[in-house]
C-alpha cells in the first residue's frame, strides 16, 4: 500500500511498526460551533483511510480528540479561546457549548457513516476530550522543564523552539525572515524569547484573567495551549511512535509542527512515521471557513433534500490531496451518481447475480494507491455500466467496507417481495407476459413500482 507522507513529501510504501496493526491518530473538531462541510471532508478522509487499511488486513487502532479548551482564534497564541467566545456568544457555560456541539458533530458523523474511534473509551465516550487529559498535559510540561526546553513568562509557559535543531521538519523550511517578522508583529508577550515559540500553558492573568476553564498546575492556575492535548492524548492512549497521524493541510505549519516538537522533545521518540494531510474544500476558489463566512453545514444539504451520503460520495470523487471547489451543482450530480449506484445495488437479490472477481481487486488496487478514490469510483461506474454485471450481496458488503456508502443494507424488501420480483424477472425471460404483468400489479398494490429497461428491472417505493 502506498501513502503520500508529508514528512519527506513523497509517496512511500506503507510499513506498519507492528505487523498487521496500525496506530492511527486523527485530529478532531474544536467544538465551539457547528462543523462545516469542509471539516467533514477531513473526517471522511480519515474514515476512508481507516477503512482501506482495515480492508488491507490491518487491525486499526484509531483515536480522535475533541478540543474543548485552549484553541485560540488564531492557530497560534493570539486572540481569545474559541470555546470562551462561543460561550459568550450563546450566553452559556463553556461546557454547555461543548456538549451541544459535540452532539451536533456526532450526529453529522453518523449521517455520513463515519466510524467512531475504537481505541479509547473515557468518561465522555469514544472521543478523547482535551479537558479529560489535563494531568497528562501538565506531565509533558514538567518533562520539558526538566530538559530546559520550557520557560515561563508572566503570561504563559512557552516551548523554546530554538533548542530543537529539527524544529519545523514537517514544513521542510526554517521559518524564514518574512514569517518571523510577520509573527513578531502580533506577538503580545514581550517576554517571549523567540517569535515562533508557542504556549504550552497560559496563566489566568491579564488577557486571560477571566478565562472560565482553569486548572491548578505546579506553576500556577491556567489552561493548556492547544497543541499540547494531541501530544498528551497520543502518549496516554496509543503511545509513540504511532504509524499514521492525519489532519487538514492547515495543520502542517503550526499545530502538527508543534505537536512533533513537544512529543519528540519530551519523550525522545519519533511521534509518527506517516503524516497524511487532506486538502481543503473551497468555495469560489477560497478555503471554506468560519472566518470567511463562506460555509455550509450538513443540515443545509439535508434541507435541500439531498441525502448526506451524496456528500460523502462527492468527497470520494476527488482525491484527498486536491483542492475541491464545492458547488451545489456538483453535489446534485453526486446525488444522481449515488442513485445510479443504489439502483444497481438493489438488483443484488436477483437470481443470476454475476460479477467478475477481478472487479473488486481493481477497486482495491486503486484505493491502496494513496487512496485513489476517484479511480476506484470510475472503475465502479464501468462495472455498473456493463450489463453482464449484477451485484451479489457479498460484493456490496466488501464495497461498503471501503467506501462506506451503505449499499448492502439498504434493501428494505421482505423476502416475499424479493421472491415476487425474481419470479417476475423469470416470467419476462420466458416471455410469459400475463404472469409478468400480474406480478407487477401485485407489487404496485404494495407500493413497489417496477421499471424495466432493456437488460434490467429497477424497483422503487412509491
One of 247, 308, 391, 404 touching ligand AMP (CB under 6 A): 247
CB neighbour list of residue 363: distance below 8 Å, 6 or more residues apart: 376, 379, 380, 399, 402
Q: Which is nearer to ligand AMP, 41 or 424 (CB)?
A: 41
Which residues, 250 to 269, sit near ligand AMP by CB under 6 A?
A: 250-251
Site membership for ligand AMP, residue 371 (CB under 6 A): no
In angstroms, what is the minimal distance from the CB of 351 to Zn ion? 52
Q: Which stretch binds ligand AMP (CB under 6 A): 14-22, 39-47, 437-445, 452-460?
A: 39-47
**Cell numbers at residue 324, please?**
475541491
In angstroms, what is the minimal distance from the CB of 222 to ligand AMP? 21
In angstroms, what is the minimal distance from the CB of 272 to Zn ion? 11
Size of the site for ligand AMP (CB under 6 A): 17
Site membership for Zn ion, residue 63 (CB under 5 A): no
CB neighbour list of residue 394: distance below 8 Å, 6 or more residues apart: none
One of 5, 16, 30, 131 touching ligand AMP (CB under 6 A): 30
Q: Which is nearer to ligand AMP, 147 or 286 (CB)?
A: 286
Output the CA angle 235-237-239, nearest 5 degrees. 45
Q: Which is nearer to Zn ion, 27 or 331 (CB)?
A: 27
CB neighbour list of residue 254: distance below 8 Å, 6 or more residues apart: 75, 76, 198, 227
- By a kind-dependent CB cut-off of 5 to 8 A, residue 39 interacts, out of ligand AMP, Zn ion, none, with ligand AMP
Question: 3-state secondary structure string, 277-341?
Answer: EECCEEECCEECCCCCCCCCCHHHHHHCCCCHHHHHHHHHCCCCCCCEECCHHHHHHHHHHHHHH
Q: Are strands 59-66 and 128-129 parallel, antiparallel or unpaired?
A: parallel
Closest CA to 250 of 284, 286, 224: 286
In angstroms, what is the minimal distance from the CB of 338 to ligand AMP? 21
One of 5, 6, 16, 39 touching ligand AMP (CB under 6 A): 39
The SS3 call for residue 252 is helix
Site membership for ligand AMP, residue 106 (CB under 6 A): no
CB neighbour list of residue 129: distance below 8 Å, 6 or more residues apart: 65, 66, 68, 98, 122
- By a kind-dependent CB cut-off of 5 to 8 A, residue 230 interacts, out of Zn ion, ligand AMP, none, with Zn ion
Which uninterrupted H or E stretch holds 366?
helix 357-367
**Cell numbers at residue 6, please?**
508529508
One of 69, 130, 156, 230 touching Zn ion (CB under 5 A): 230
- By a kind-dependent CB cut-off of 5 to 8 A, residue 53 interacts, out of ligand AMP, Zn ion, none, with none
Q: Which is nearer to ligand AMP, 278 or 342 (CB)?
A: 278
- Residue pair 233/27 in contact (Cβ under 8 Å)? The answer is no
CA distances from 233 to 15, 74, 118, 459 (A): 23, 22, 14, 49
Site membership for ligand AMP, residue 280 (CB under 6 A): yes
Q: Which stretch binds Zn ion (CB under 5 A): 123-131, 183-191, 207-215, 227-235?
A: 227-235
**Cell numbers at residue 458, please?**
429497477
Site membership for ligand AMP, residue 41 (CB under 6 A): yes
Site membership for Zn ion, residue 27 (CB under 5 A): yes
Which uninterrupted H or E stretch holds 138?
helix 134-146
Q: Which is nearer to Zn ion, 26 or 160 (CB)?
A: 26
CA distance 84 to 75: 15
Interacting residues toward ligand AMP by CB under 6 A: 27, 29-30, 38-39, 41-42, 247-248, 250-251, 278, 280-281, 287-289
Binding site for Zn ion (CB under 5 A): 27, 230
Amino acid at each position: 500500500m502506498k501513502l503520500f507522507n508529508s514528512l519527506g513529501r513523497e509517496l512511500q510504501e506503507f510499513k506498519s511498526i507492528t505487523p498487521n496493526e496500525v496506530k492511527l491518530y486523527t485530529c478532531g473538531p474544536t467544538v465551539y460551533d457547528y462543523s462545516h462541510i469542509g471539516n467533514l471532508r477531513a473526517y471522511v478522509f480519515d474514515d476512508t483511510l481507516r477503512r482501506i487499511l482495515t480492508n488491507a488486513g490491518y487491525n486499526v487502532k484509531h483515536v480522535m480528540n475533541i478540543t474543548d479548551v485552549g484553541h485560540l482564534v488564531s492557530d497560534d497564541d493570539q486572540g481569545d479561546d474559541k470555546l470562551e467566545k462561543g460561550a459568550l456568544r450563546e450566553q452559556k457555560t463553556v461546557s454547555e457549548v461543548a456538549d451541544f456541539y459535540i452532539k451536533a458533530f456526532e450526529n453529522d458523523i453518523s449521517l455520513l457513516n463515519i466510524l467512531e474511534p475504537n481505541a479509547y473509551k473515557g468518561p465522555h465516550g469514544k472521543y478523547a476530550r482535551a479537558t479529560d487529559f489535563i494531568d497528562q498535559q501538565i506531565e509533558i510540561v514538567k518533562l520539558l522543564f526538566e530538559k530546559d526546553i520550557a520557560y515561563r513568562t508572566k503570561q504563559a509557559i512557552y516551548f523554546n523552539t530554538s533548542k530543537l535543531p529539527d524544529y519545523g521538519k514537517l514544513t521542510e523550511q526554517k521559518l524564514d525572515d518574512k514569517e518571523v517578522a510577520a509573527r513578531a508583529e502580533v506577538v503580545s508577550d514581550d517576554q517571549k524569547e523567540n517569535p515562533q515559540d508557542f504556549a504550552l500553558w497560559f496563566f489566568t492573568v491579564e488577557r486571560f484573567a477571566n478565562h472560565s476553564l482553569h486548572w491548578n498546575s505546579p506553576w500556577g492556575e491556567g489552561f493548556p495551549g492547544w497543541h499540547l492535548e494531541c501530544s498528551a492524548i497520543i502518549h496516554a492512549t496509543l503511545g509513540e511512535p504511532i504509524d499514521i497521524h492525519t489532519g487538514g493541510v492547515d495543520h502542517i505549519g503550526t499545530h502538527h509542527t508543534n505537536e512533533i516538537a513537544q512529543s519528540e522533545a519530551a519523550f525522545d521518540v519519533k511521534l509518527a512515521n506517516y503524516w497524511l494531510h487532506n486538502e481543503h474544500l473551497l468555495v469560489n476558489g477560497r478555503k471554506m471557513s468560519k472566518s470567511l463566512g463562506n460555509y455550509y453545514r450538513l443540515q443545509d444539504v439535508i434541507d435541500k433534500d439531498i441525502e448526506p451520503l451524496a456528500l460523502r460520495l462527492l468527497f470520494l470523487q476527488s482525491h484527498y490531496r486536491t483542492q475541491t471547489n464545492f458547488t451545489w451543482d456538483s453535489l446534485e450530480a453526486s446525488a444522481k451518481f449515488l442513485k445510479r449506484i443504489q439502483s444497481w445495488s438493489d438488483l443484488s437479490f436477483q437470481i443470476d447475480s454475476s460479477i467478475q472477481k477481478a472487479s473488486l481487486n481493481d477497486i482495491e488496487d486503486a484505493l491502496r494507491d494513496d487512496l485513489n478514490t476517484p479511480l476506484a469510483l470510475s472503475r465502479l461506474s464501468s462495472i455498473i455500466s456493463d450489463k453482464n454485471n449484477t451485484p451479489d450481496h457479498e460484493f456490496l458488503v466488501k464495497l461498503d467496507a471501503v467506501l462506506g456508502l451503505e449499499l448492502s443494507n439498504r434493501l428494505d424488501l421482505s423476502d416475499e417481495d424479493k421472491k415476487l420480483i425474481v419470479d417476475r424477472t423469470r416470467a419476462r425471460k420466458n416471455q410469459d407476459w400475463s404472469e409478468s404483468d400480474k406480478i407487477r400489479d401485485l407489487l404496485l398494490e404494495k407500493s413497489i413500482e417496477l421499471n424495466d429497461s432493456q437488460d434490467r428491472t429497477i424497483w422503487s417505493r412509491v
